[in-house]
Structure 1
Amino acid sequence: MAGSNNQPNDLVRQHTHDIELGVSDVLQRHVTRHVVPTKPVSQRKLNFEHKRPRIMREMMAEATGVFFYVFPGIASVASFTLATTNPVAGVIGVTVFGSLFQIGWAFALGIAFAIVTCAPVSGGHFNPAITICFAIWEGFPWRKVPHYIFSQIFGAFLAGLMLMACYWPQIQAAKAIDIKEHGTAVYNGGVASILCVFPNPDQTNQGYLFFQEFFVDSYIGIIIWACLDRANPFVSAQSVPFTIGLAYATMVWGFAGNTISTNLARDLGTRIVAAIFFGGEAFTASSSYSWISILVNIPATIFATGYYEFLMRDSLQKIQQGHAEHKDGEEGLHRHISKVTGVDVANPAWETNRGAMNTADGVREKQF
């Protein structure tokens, strides 16, 4: 009888390809799952962590984050560029080793990994321009700005050194070929361009290069600032790393062939490495183009974040969602709403309806 009672269930399982669930049922009755408990935190560990200077942790996180962002990106550039000096390239084709599409993804995922790994400690700036903008718009302490910028440049510098160590034989071979055929390794497409960017031979107008860098950096800056807007309903904390990474990737896919930098730390840190191994020409080549790749990112990002702050930010919504408060507290918020709506917010009825944000919706309508 027991077999006949179980038969319909077994037939259903067989029909739905779930017959293996019978084995699972047996295992659940006879096998106990053992989970290793989390190791208790000792007082010694707590004391050690408490004694670490906060600024040191933040600087290490910024340096590590920039390393995580820059290293996979320039490694992808290296695999693409050095394929021309690899004997295998002539057999299986250069495109197997990389493309701008691959390079864009390498930078994008590097940025995402950097944010996921290091942002909980330092805030995840990873760009001197972003650090400066946080100081301008969000109250980030100016006294910390030099520490962050130094750490970011240092992280990119370490990424450049690590790349040179990993690809040293191939880089030396490529350098010899470049010097033999072009007289220098410092040009766009040369081995030095693995570390930092140089304009194409036909890009002699620095005004054009400035405009291109400014636009690309502004585009990325607006997306970053929108992602960091806590009142933005379309971006979750989990999606921020990948959204920002894809913003960089889209600009790489669209403009890397025309020369872009996008980050002072990423360019300056690796350009110093290029100067060490390939000479000062890394800074002076192409009519000293390096000043554009190093510095333009700062005014462009300030412009982008200012554009968002002045034209797109909804601070009232930010206050309503509990992500900020009025500088003068509740009294200041009451004065503002009374001024723009004509509603007496001191009236208890307003407090009753406040949770539904009816009055606040009216504020936004009258503001815009």
Structure 2
Amino acid sequence: MSPFLAEITGTALLMILGGGVVANVVLDKTKGNNGGLIAITFGWAVGVFTGVYAAAAASGGHLNPAVTIGLAVEGSFDWALVPSYILAQFIGAMLGAVIVWASYRQHFNATQDANAKLAVFCTAPAIRSAEHNFITELVGTFILVLGALLLSKPEMKLGALDALPIALLVLGIGLSLGGPTGYAINPARDLGPRIIHALLPIKNKRDSDWNYAWIPVVAPIAGGVLAALFFRFILK
């Protein structure tokens, strides 16, 4: 695969498995209804593992604009490639969201809770506060990008299991910091599917919560940049 196609494929797999587990938990009349946060965090971790594993050889398996920008700031990724990577990540996330919707369409129709339907596509805070929600997303993404930089050292290589440490890190972030905002920690994963939610003919859907939408975009990028600077000038 080309790096562009790899980022589309990896991010689509991430969203299919991550958004799919949310759909299984929050939509009515599914086998996994009310599965809870543990099920969701494990589903997203498996999504990260699968997506990174699929894309790593061709593109490095970024799957996240915050990671791509962070690596460019840190100096290990070419700035000229950043726009194409981010475009691919958004395409993949949007494609994955459409596939989740198609897979669960009957359950979207059976679900009355419009907030639950939106949750399949994007995040929303448990307690709405722009300041605190921003900090939570920034901290979560700081840990994600810093961990990715530390885990990328040659002595940490695990061969075919290189994607596993990042998946476990995302699992930990979800379990530890996922409560306040749903831990988007990825602008493409949140904004791309949010756009799809706005466009799809979903029965009895609500608005796509555009007032909140900037936080899971700006905060993860800020967290990724801060992690890259910290790694570059303090730890490297």
TM-score (norm 1): 0.59
Q: CA deviation at 1:171?
A: 0.2
2:11 counterpart of 1:74: no
CA contact (8 A) 2:118 2:206 kept: no
CA contact (8 A) 1:198 1:289 kept: yes
User: Structure 1: how far apart are the matches of 2:93 and 2:16?
Assistant: 8
2:217 counterpart of 1:294: yes
1:248 corresponds, among 167, 170, 194, to: 170
Q: Which residue of 2 aligns with 1:194?
A: 120
User: Structure 1: how far apart are the matches of 2:16 and 2:5?
Assistant: 16
Q: Secondary structure at the match of 1:296?
A: helix
Kindly provide the CA deviation profile for residues 203-227 of structure 1, in whole angstroms up to 9, marking residues without a partner as x: 2321011111111111111111101
Q: CA deviation at 1:239?
A: 4.0
Q: Secondary structure at the match of 2:208?
A: helix
Q: CA deviation at 1:135?
A: 2.2
Q: Which residue of 2 aligns with 1:30?
A: none
- After TM superposition, which residue ranges in structure 1, 4 or more long, deviate above 4 angstroms? none
User: Structure 2: how far apart are the matches of 1:227 and 1:304?
Assistant: 13
What amino acid does structure 2 have at the position aligned with 1:236? Answer: L
1:110 corresponds, among 34, 42, 47, to: 47
Q: Which residue of 2 aligns with 1:204?
A: 128
Q: CA deviation at 1:267?
A: 0.6
Q: CA deviation at 1:234?
A: 4.4
What amino acid does structure 2 have at the position aligned with 1:138? Answer: G
Q: Which residue of 2 aligns with 1:270?
A: 193
Kindly provide the CA deviation profile for residues 161-219 of structure 1, in whole angstroms up to 9, marking residues without a partner as x: 00111111110221xx23xxxxxx2x3xx21111111122xx23210111111111111
Q: Which residue of 2 aligns with 1:124?
A: 61
Q: Which residue of 1 aligns with 2:137?
A: 213
Asked which structure has the greater CA Rg, the reply is 1
Q: CA deviation at 1:139?
A: 4.7
Structure 1 residues not aligned, in runs of 5+ = 1-55, 179-184, 314-368
What amino acid does structure 1 have at the position aligned with 2:17? Answer: P
Q: Which protein has greater RCO, CA pairs closer than 8 Å, 6+ apart?
A: 2
Q: Which residue of 1 aligns with 2:146?
A: 222
Shift in alpha-carbon separation, 1:305–1:237, aligned structure 2, 3 A: farther
Q: CA deviation at 1:283?
A: 3.9
Kindly provide the CA deviation profile for residues 123-146 of structure 1, in whole angstroms up to 9, marking residues without a partner as x: 211111221222222353322211
CA contact (8 A) 2:24 2:33 kept: no
Kindly provide the CA deviation profile for residues 109-159 of structure 1, in whole angstroms up to 9, marking residues without a partner as x: 221122222111112111112212222223533222111101000000001
Structure 2 residues not aligned, in runs of 5+ = none
CA contact (8 A) 2:25 2:36 kept: yes
2:231 counterpart of 1:308: yes
User: Structure 2: how far apart are the matches of 1:172 and 1:280?
Assistant: 13
Shift in alpha-carbon separation, 1:235–1:311, aligned structure 2, 3 A: farther
Q: Secondary structure at the match of 2:229?
A: helix
Give aligned pairs, total.
Answer: 232
TM-score (norm 2): 0.90
Q: Secondary structure at the match of 1:120?
A: helix
CA contact (8 A) 1:115 1:124 kept: yes
